[in-house]
Chains A and B, each alone.
Chain A
């Protein structure tokens, strides 16, 4: 069974540009979560999608947005990039059939803003 896949692995952008990160969940999983991890810090919750809808959002500005497609894959878009957006962006998926189903993470996209 394929795990959660994220692309690209690395992304380099300049200030003011837009970045698009992609995530494919494990087959059968309907929920996708996005987290930001700045260097040396913990994981900050960004967004949660389930069945194509945004279910919850962390404390991030509106220039962080995303969507979930009918096949449950997801995109994270970051507009008007700032230097402090440089971080590892991690995607996770879970099966939403019952409360508390475990998360499975992808290997992340390392975004560098110069």
Chain B
């Protein structure tokens, strides 16, 4: 099956700092989503981005499908950004099985 790896696995930021999270995948995809899982376990949709670039406030994401990676940018981080960030993909041409990456655990300290 498709492999999805995220980096870094852990990240500690000072409030106000910027960061870039990466998601690499091993096969062509027709669906890529970024999620934020808060400390209460809720998974929040951030972006649906199988290709291209999107922005939503302090967050933006870019997927380069031909090179099989996606980046999530967090600018001016806040303590509420803490949690785990997952990317999830669906391999192109197959069943719609969603595979999650390993996650990046982000802690933003005041």
A residues touching B (Cβ–Cβ < 8 Å)? Answer: 31, 33, 35, 37, 42-43, 45, 48, 50, 55-56, 88, 90, 92, 94, 96, 99-105, 107-108, 110
* Complex contact B41–A55 (CB within 8 A): no
Interface centre among A55, A56, A100 (most CB of B within 10 A): A100
User: What are 11 of the A-B contact pairs (CB < 8 Å)?
Assistant: A31-B96, A33-B98, A35-B100, A50-B96, A88-B41, A92-B43, A99-B31, A99-B96, A103-B33, A104-B45, A108-B41
Most chain B C-beta atoms within 10 Å of own C-beta, residue among A43, A56, A94, A96: A43
B99 at the interface (CB under 8 A from A): yes
For chain B, what secondary structure do more than half of its interface residues adopt (helix, strand, loop), or is it mixed?
strand
Contact A45-B97, Cβ < 8 Å, known A90-B43, A103-B33: yes
Q: Closest 7 interchain pairs by CB?
A: A100-B31, A100-B30, A102-B48, A105-B43, A43-B100, A56-B97, A99-B30
The listed residue (B41, B90, B103) touching A110 by CB distance below 8 A is: B41
B35 within 8 A of partner (CB) = yes
How many residues does chain B have at the interface if contact means C-beta atoms less than 8 Å apart?
24
Smallest CB gap from B44: residue in A? A105
**Shortest Cβ gap from A68 to chain B (Å):** 15
Residues of chain A lying within 8 A (CB to CB) of residue B100: 35, 42-43, 45
Q: Determine the residue in chain A with the shortest Cβ distance to B30.
A: A100
Whether the pair B96, A102 counts as a contact (CB closer than 8 A) is: no
Q: Which residues of B contact A102 (CB under 8 A)?
A: 31, 33, 45, 48
The one of A55, A100, A101, A105 in contact with B35, judged by C-beta atoms closer than 8 angstroms, is: A105
Residues of B close to A103: CB separation below 8 A:
33, 45, 88, 98
Picked from A55, A99, A107, the residue with its CB within 8 Å of the CB of B90 is A99
> What chain A residues lie within 8 Å of B50 (beta carbons)?
100
